Chains A and B, each alone.
Chain A
Amino acid sequence: NAGVTQTPKFQVLKTGQSMTLQCAQDMNHEYMSWYRQDPGMGLRLIHYSVGAGITDQGEVPNGYNVSRSTTEDFPLRLLSAAPSQTSVYFCASSYDRVDSGYTFGSGTRLTVV
């Protein structure tokens, strides 16, 4: 049981490049979400999904795209990376019920130069 797997763990991008952060879970969780963590800002929600084919925006969605074609995977796409997207990104998943706890991935540290 791997839990929530995020890849890569570290990435350096040049401004304007695109990339996809991967998130996969093997717990059959319906709910998946992406957060970014910046110093002094806590974790802020980017996008989330309550099931395959359903996504919604969080607090800071600009510059990011998501899709949910399977229950297991929830990739986060940066279409044109900007230095402001330098951050640590966390994926989290849970069952879609009110008493379910979240399982977090180990994070991806992204630097945009």
Chain B
Amino acid sequence: AQTVTQSQPEMSVQEAETVTLSCTYDTSESNYYLFWYKQPPSRQMILVIRQEAYKQQNATENRFSVNFQKAAKSFSLKISDSQLGDTAMYFCAFMKAGSGNTPLVFGKGTRLSVIA
């Protein structure tokens, strides 16, 4: 079974600064996908970024980028130029690659507060 660990229950960052959220995972699979989801106070789950394990290049989406270290089973999220709207719960998630879609396995989340 796969497990996802987020070791930082809460973090805070000053507006316009950079923050990195940590995520490690455990799996025996060689092909899989990793995700970061954002959950603002509205409760909606929003996909932030996604990484395919077979791609060595780190994914980026505007101010969001990841540091994917496959050998270390690490998948951290870097948020640059933090904005007040980035305040949310952030979940790291793992999905095994199969012939079709497979369930997401989530970490326990990191609550990020952006301070003005």
Contacts and interface: CB of A to CB of B under 8 A. Distances in A.
Interface in A54-113: 58, 88, 90, 92, 94-98, 100-102, 104, 106-107
A72 to B, nearest CB: 17
Interface in B21-49: 33, 42-45, 47
A97 B99 CA distance: 7
Would you call the interface of chain B mostly helix, strand, loop, or mixed?
loop
A94 B101 contact: yes
B106 A102 contact: no
A96 to B, nearest CB: 4
In this complex, the member of B6, B42, B109 whose beta carbon has the largest number of chain A beta carbons within 10 angstroms is B109
Interface residue tally of chain A, by bracket?
20 to 34
A74 B109 CA distance: 26
Contact of B104 (A30, A102, A106, A107): A102
Interface in A5-63: 30-31, 33, 35, 40-45, 48, 50, 58
Interface in B62-116: 91, 97-109
Given A88-B43, A104-B44, A41 B108 contact: yes
Contacts of A92: 45, 104
Contacts of A41: 108
B30 to A, nearest CB: 14
Given A90-B45, A104-B44, A107-B43, A98 B98 contact: yes
A49 to B, nearest CB: 11
Contacts of A43: 91, 104, 106
Contact of A33 (B50, B91, B103, B109): B103
A100 B4 CA distance: 21
Contacts of B9: 40
A58 to B, nearest CB: 6
Contacts of B47: 101-102
A97 B43 CA distance: 26
9 contacts: A33-B104, A42-B4, A42-B91, A43-B104, A45-B104, A48-B103, A50-B101, A104-B44, A107-B43
